[in-house]
Amino acid sequence: MVRLGARSGYAIKKTADLSTRNFWPTSLAQVYPELARLEDAGLVSRRDDARGERVRSAYELTEAGEAALVAWLRSPRLAPVQLRDEGLLKLFFADALPRPDQLDLIRHVRAEDHASVTELREQIIPLAEQAHRHGVKFPAIVARLSADLYAYAEEWLARLEQELSASQPPE
Amino acid sequence: MVRLGARSGYAIKKTADLSTRNFWPTSLAQVYPELARLEDAGLVSRRDDARGERVRSAYELTEAGEAALVAWLRSPRLAPVQLRDEGLLKLFFADALPRPDQLDLIRHVRAEDHASVTELREQIIPLAEQAHRHGVKFPAIVARLSADLYAYAEEWLARLEQELSASQPPE
DNA sequence: CTGTTCATGTAAGAAGTTACATGATTTG
DNA sequence: CAAATCATGTAACTTCTTACATGAACAG
């Protein structure tokens, strides 16, 4: 984030909320200690950047920091994906519901997917495309991938709803 | 899980690993205390079910437990989706890499997606379809949705790889 | 001149994982 | 008869979030 231009801890958190939040959530209480660790390790440098009375630090990547970033990006290890999705969990157990409630649940999960698509298309993708104009391509790529995935899930659930509406419950 | 036939804590964990793991991970150290809480709340009943010397408990849903399950399924609140995906995070920052490494990264993330598709199609869906034959439909529906989503992501990344291979980096 | 945003941190608590501890039963 | 699986739990630890605490600068 520092490399992409977020210079203060506050700016890092704000940028993350508008870009990586959907696949890598971050809280301010993580950002500040992490910046301190990175500085100790010599991966970022801190410069005083006060606005009048208000203290502010401006961080930049050091050469070692840039190298560490690239080494991480190149390393083939990926931590296992962690997903917690209560909508899918409810769907999994939906056999316990009568048919009309099953359809309500499907519509509800679909609506959540739709909200994600909307947020991505209206807020996150436009921002990422600004970066695109400055030669930074991948934030926009990831945002489009995310939006397309949620849109695909939305369509999938719409088809499911139609199929279940058409068929009578066997019970 | 108890309702679907997993009677011991161990069986619950095993079932979860073969069904809900991808969207709701569970550890054994959660299962046992949670079963105790559910029993205290009167939502499950515990029966002794020893195998010879080895102690074993068999749990069943009580009427109150069934009602609580249905109430949860009907309640419109969904906890926010939590996702942590290092592959997407690396893609997000991939502008820091030279083009060939970007392509390697995309291929790597795609391979992980492919592995998920394979696991779902070869192990999880077949199991869920067994339940389907006993009138339990939704585990198979959710497994198919998951598999289709991963397959969609895989194709999306294949297209991205082709586009990036065809175009020369502007830098 | 008031409300929002910018800005930095700490502390307490919740949630969840890994490792520990133990041992019987079943399968090949 | 050895290895894998079944089975139940606890303890320590890690990770992350929420709430707290504080206050300057800026926009309307």
Per-residue pLDDT of chain B in tens (171 residues, 90 and over written 9): 999 999 999 999 999 999 999 999 999 999 999 999 999 999 999 999 998 889 999 999 999 999 999 999 999 999 999 999 999 999 999 999 999 999 999 999 999 999 999 999 999 999 999 999 999 999 999 999 999 999 999 999 999 999 999 987 665
Residue A89 has pLDDT above 80, yes or no: yes
Q: Which residues contact A148 (CB under 8 A, 6 or more apart)?
A: B152, B156
Burial environment of residue B93 by CB neighbours within 10 A (0 to 12, 13 to 18, 19 or more): buried
pLDDT of residue B168: 75
Which residues of chain B have a CB within 8 Å of the CB of A95? 135-138
For residues A64 and A75, give the distance between their C-alpha atoms in angstroms, rounded to a whole number.
16
Q: How far apart are CA B58 and CA A88, in angstroms?
A: 27
pLDDT digits (tens, 9 = 90+) for A40-79: 999 999 999 998 889 999 999 999 999 999 999 999 999 9
**Per-residue three-class SS string for chain B:** CCCCCCCCHHHHHHHHHCCCCCCCCCCHHHHHHHHHHHHHCCCEEEEECCECCECCEEEEECHHHHHHHHHHHHCCCCCCCEEECHHHHHHHCHHHCCHHHHHHHHHHHHHHHHHHHHHHHHHHHHHHHHHHHCCCCHHHHHHHHHHHHHHHHHHHHHHHHHHHHHCCCCC
Predicted local confidence at residue A58, as pLDDT? 97
What pLDDT sits at residue A170? Answer: 61
How many angstroms separate the Cα of B59 from the Cα of each of A37, B24, B38? 48, 21, 10
Rounded CA-CA distance A104/A90 in Å is 12
Q: What is the pLDDT of residue A63?
A: 97
Establish if A159 touches chain B: CB-CB under 8 angstroms: no
Q: What is the model's pLDDT at position A8?
A: 96
Please indicate whether, in this complex, the C-beta atoms of A93 and B157 are within 8 angstroms of each other: no
Position A169 scores a pLDDT of 66
Tell me which residue of A137, A143, A6 sits closest to B94, measured CA to CA. A137
CA distance B82 to chain A (A): 5
pTM for this structure? 0.95
A168 pLDDT band, cuts 50/70/90, is: confident
Question: Tokens for A124?
Answer: 């996150």
Which residues of chain B have a CB within 8 Å of the CB of A92?
19-20, 23-24, 138-139, 142
Q: How confident is the model at residue A167 (pLDDT cuts 50, 70, 90)?
A: confident
As a whole number of angstroms, the distance between CA A171 and CA A166 comes to: 15
B14, closest nucleotide (Cα–C1'): D6
